[in-house]
Structure 1
Amino acid sequence: MRLVFAGTPEVALPSLEAIAASGHELAAVLTRPDAPAGRGRRLVRSPVGAWADERGIEVLTPEKPRDPEFQERLRQIAPDCVPVVAYGALVPPSALEIPKRGWLNLHFSLLPAWRGAAPVQHAVLHGDAVTGASVFELEAGLDTGPVYGTLTDQIRFNDTSGDLLERLAVEGAGLLVAVLDAIEAGTARAHPQPADGVSFAPKLTADDARIRWDDPAFAVDRRIRACTPAPGAWTTLRGDRLKLGPVRPVANGPSLPAGELLVERTQVLAGTATTPVMLGEVRAAGKKPMSATDWARGMRIQAGEKLA
């Protein structure tokens, strides 16, 4: 089939590479416009756009997919299908109608669970044991279209959102190509999503990423892993913000009030509503990440000091 691939961040690259290596024709890519980045705020191409530039593939970067110029160019390219992975913009019905076989989205959850922008983060945050990926047909609703295929994956006890998303991106690339192959062969069958089991996964905010030390240790652990690497779990000490990497609940640790720090020779503990957690990486504002023990020594943490 003749394809236009729609995607923006690095998580889309495994699928893009799998499609390029398949028997399908990659006619162009659709990605978000160049965006300012770094201290100089210079415009930077998206990972998907940069990948296509290096290979001489046409790159489409409309401000919005409803732009008439973009839709006219898409008609000229005449794709049979538009596979989508983390494109980052809503596609209007007028654009959905252009490819003969529609738009197919690789979504990183087992639909209808965790519809929305942050399915992996919410699966980790809520303590799901199993997640996966789904390939479904885009329609006007939010991740509501019929599903062509799924895969499942266990969420490991130490998975961050970044770890899990990287794994699902690789596994999902094979699923997406398999569905495209089946559509071309005429053997693909899409099934409506069930009405039960619907949940939503909006983008996590900075407030979501603030650690609640009066939560149980397991919830503190999940929140930090869910927010790693983005938006980054954080707390404060002495009025200054700190970003924290993943922690480890300590089952038989000492009893500590919520947020209170205990600095020992080989570890730094913080109290929760239940047992304490052992801090891992700490990053103070404007500083490089460092181990919790090095950070605590430099800060000269006093007895009774608390994270908030």
Structure 2
Amino acid sequence: MLKKLKEKYDPEFGMGDHMFNDLALSRDLLYEHRSRLPEGSPQRNLSVMVLQRSHWPFASRKKDVDLPLWMQSALAAYVEFYKSKHQGRKLDWDHSIGTATLKSRFSSATKDLTVSLYQAVVLLLFNESVELGYKQIMEATRMDEGELKRTLQSLACANKKVLRKQPVGKDVNETDVFYFNSEFTDPRAKVHINSIQAKETPEESTRTQSHIDSDRKHYLDAAIVRIMKAKKELTYEQLKTQTIEAVKNHFVPEVSVIKLRIAGLVEQEYLRRDEHDMNRYIYVA
């Protein structure tokens, strides 16, 4: 798979090696961790992926959620096992990308609900209470306000309403009260409940575009250097055409950006202009 990605889409897809390596190592670690647990232990249901932050596009979170004590105990046991294998390393849990399967008993039937970890934490509160106000849920989970509102909205206001709320409405307010919807029905035994994603702010959009532009500049630089190393010298038009061809499966660059990247590489002394033809570039070994 990695070979195909490199050949057809991105010759620089080296990061994929690290990502797939993380996944393989995580599976091996999880298998060993489970093998050390007693048969029938609930902790055998825990699934953990240990991913190096430098290789994955996940931002660190300033605030997360308070998990139930039995979940915290399962995570603590895994941390203890992990540190016995890798001393000096630190695990930072990111619950925002976690998932869970809950067995939920409704009046009509028992269903397996596949939900986000945030949704699971909220739903589990209703094992202990018939009704909960928004502020009570906030206090119990200590979730980010925006995240909590989106989570409750997905459970009580979307198509699959496993919670009911008063007053009825599409939005979640601080005065709302929530109830477990025992009358929920679905033809499937396994029900997936979608999360509601946060809308990207203008600042986040600008930051994302900045990262994309930066990555593309490095990608263009690498492509131009590879071409010139192979060809030794080319005219500007030849180099421009071959650069576009080299990166077309990745993105379509603007000609003005290619021109700037060539000028930057001349300044960094990867290339130089021909003394007799300023429109011809020569590779500097």
Larger helix fraction of residues: 2
Give the structure-1-normalised TM-score. 0.24
Larger strand fraction of residues: 1
Structure number with greater Rg is 2
